[in-house]
Chains A and B, each alone.
Chain A
Amino acid sequence: MKQFLQHRAATLPTIGAVVIFVAMIAYGEIAYGRILQFSTLSNLLINNAHLVILAVGLTFVIVTGGIDLSVGAVIAFTSVTGVLLANAGWNPWLVMVLMVVIGGAFGLASGILVEYFGVQPFIATLAMMFLARGLASTLSTNPERLADDSPIRLIAAEWKLVDGPKVNDLILTPGVLIAAIVVLGAWFVLHRTRLGRTVYAIGGSEPSALLMGLPVWRTKVWVYVISGTLAGVAAVVYTARLGIAQNITGIGWELDAIAAVVIGGTLLTGGVGYVAGSVVGALVLGLMIVLITRDGKIPPEMTTIITGGIVLVFVLLQRGLSVVRRNP
């Protein structure tokens, strides 16, 4: 058993997240019912597609041992810009591309500050968070509504795959599809390419990665660009679903995304983590909201306490495992 723990210590937290997810579904199904059905699961995916995308982007940064606090604010800026431009008559497809590019530009700025000027990731991305939030507020402080017939809303069009009885339909949206493509792409890049290997090597030990002749600088700029770009993608998906953009959109989402990544088994010190884990982590958070709503007796004020508690349990689990690994 101990040998198994040591051998599998890196994957165990991720497996633990999957177990918790399944257990939460089982508990919800037994206690409240109507969890394990098409409509609930479809909604879980649709409502959390943006969080999944964010968490996947953040996984890259956190595996290198960095952090990106700017993603929530980047979503606010890109979605307000996008909606304003689309309403001003710009080509909506161009607007969507522009939203993603702007996100990437914020990531690039963070990356250059961190790598080229030696600013700590926490401070550099904090600056980008302030900048994006402030710029979004100068653009507009009112909720900007996207026209209902705007093609951007097609991203949230519902495809009914299985027409169940009553409203129990299996529904997918292009947004969910985009999230799935992002997850697959990120999995491929992180686990199957040189860039991905370098990301892990930097997280394991940056001096060693440098001595091995790996392109540390370029890779570290890349991870911030990836995180920023995916924040732009998440902004497109979220704005399309909601149809409204506001300067206060996405406040605290960087924390949700960090929580999802941590629950998924990625170490904040870097070097260990899985894309799949972050996806499960995001879904655990989403499912938790569903269960709290279903329960009805838990006051909504408790939500953040429960989120904090879950993160704490997972971090303690990781901590325990690392102790087991170090003392055979």
Chain B
Amino acid sequence: MNRVKGLVKKPPFWGFVAILLLLAINLAKDPRYLAITVSPVTGNLVGNVIDILRVVAPILLIAFGMCLVIATGGIDLSVGSVMAVSGAVAMQYLHDHGAPDSVGDALAAIGLALGVALLVGLVNAVLVAVVGLQPFITTLVMMLAGRGLAKVVTQGQNTNAVNDPMRWIANGYVLGIPVVFLLALVLIVVVAVLIRRSALGLLIESLGVDPKAARLAGVDRRALLFSAYLLSALLAGIAGLFATGSVMTVDVSQTGYQAELDAILAVVVGGTSLAGGRFSLGGAVVGAFLIATLDKTIVFLGVPASATPAFKAVVIVVLCLLQSQRVRGWIGQAGARMRAARKAVA
């Protein structure tokens, strides 16, 4: 019983409940919603669940990076723009130089795109860790400038390109499962092991809990901030390749648009406080799945996609209220009253 109570108090639990609730709504509309079938033509798995896996991949990546940055007591508003920049660089390179079936060209484009993404991350890191600017304003500037940079790279066009290896990464399947999801899974497992199996996670938490105490304890603040912002930018760069690769077109004003908000939402749903300090990578995964499921559900129910934000708002408000001390107190009181009433009856 106590164990159940502990679970209910953990924020990711409510995110998990919300995902089940959304799936239940979909099932009510179509009893075959969760069915996974093998496509007779390609041999790949098809179904709504597989679609969700595909949608969740980029959100997982940026949510992971965001989680670490938030844990240091910062925030990275530039991830959406980094997605656009990375996609723009890759598409422009392939458009100008790429042969349609060259693996080398695809790798060069990916390398170039991730290099530029890391450059944006480096600027963030230098301004935050060395100059000492606030993360909010620093990454806000990079969010504005980054999208501008993407537009400059493509000269304001929505560049498209043809390259089969690149398209395979974003749209292909291995063992019937989307490549993007497998890649995202491998990346987040590597990062999670790196963070949680070493002292890195603890050091990052110490930075977020109390920067002064961390400094007195000899924690290398700069190195940690650099790794957090660089990692966030790198993961966002990969997410940008996923997002543009699936249609092989970069939409400079729409690619990654408001992705930073999705990432922050996923992290907060997962129970990581925006104030920094203790963070939950597992919670961020639950949060990312919640957002992907929500996005798919809204489309499935036939609600216009532009109304999606209103549903996200409801989810945020409900989850924040469930986590707030005041509402917890109310629920506790109501529970105590009910127990008292039951005792009186008995």
Contacts and interface: CB of A to CB of B under 8 A. Distances in A.
A284 B310 CA distance: 34
Contacts of B131: 316, 319
B325 A131 contact: no
A130 B145 contact: no
A307 interface: yes
Contacts of B168: none
Interface in B292-314: 304, 306-314
A269 B127 CA distance: 16
Interface string A24-35: 000000000000
B274 A304 contact: no
Contacts of A117: 320-321, 324, 326-327
Contacts of A141: 304, 306
Nearest to A313: B141
B144 interface: yes
B261 interface: yes
Chain B CB within 10 A, most for which of A122, A141, A308:
A308
Contacts of A130: 261, 309-310, 312-313, 316
B326 A116 contact: yes
Interface residues of A, dominant DSSP = helix
A272 to B, nearest CB: 13
A135 B310 contact: yes
A120 interface: yes
Interface string A115-153: 011111011101111110111011001000000000000
Contact of B140 (A113, A255, A302): A255
B8 interface: no
A128 to B, nearest CB: 7
Interface of B: 75, 127, 131-134, 136-138, 140-145, 147-149, 151-152, 155-156, 261, 264-265, 268, 273-275, 304, 306-314, 316-317, 320-321, 324-327
Given A119-B320, A258-B140, A304-B145, 15 more contacts: A117-B320, A117-B324, A118-B324, A118-B326, A120-B273, A123-B264, A127-B312, A128-B313, A135-B307, A269-B134, A309-B145, A311-B141, A311-B144, A316-B131, A319-B132
16 contacts: A113-B320, A118-B326, A123-B268, A130-B309, A130-B312, A131-B310, A134-B310, A134-B311, A137-B310, A141-B306, A268-B137, A301-B151, A304-B151, A311-B140, A316-B131, A316-B133
Interface of A: 67, 73, 113, 116-120, 122-124, 126-131, 133-135, 137-138, 141, 247, 255, 258-259, 262, 268-269, 299-309, 311-312, 315-316, 319
9 shortest interchain CB distances as A-B pairs? A134-B310, A301-B151, A308-B145, A305-B148, A131-B313, A130-B309, A130-B313, A304-B148, A137-B306
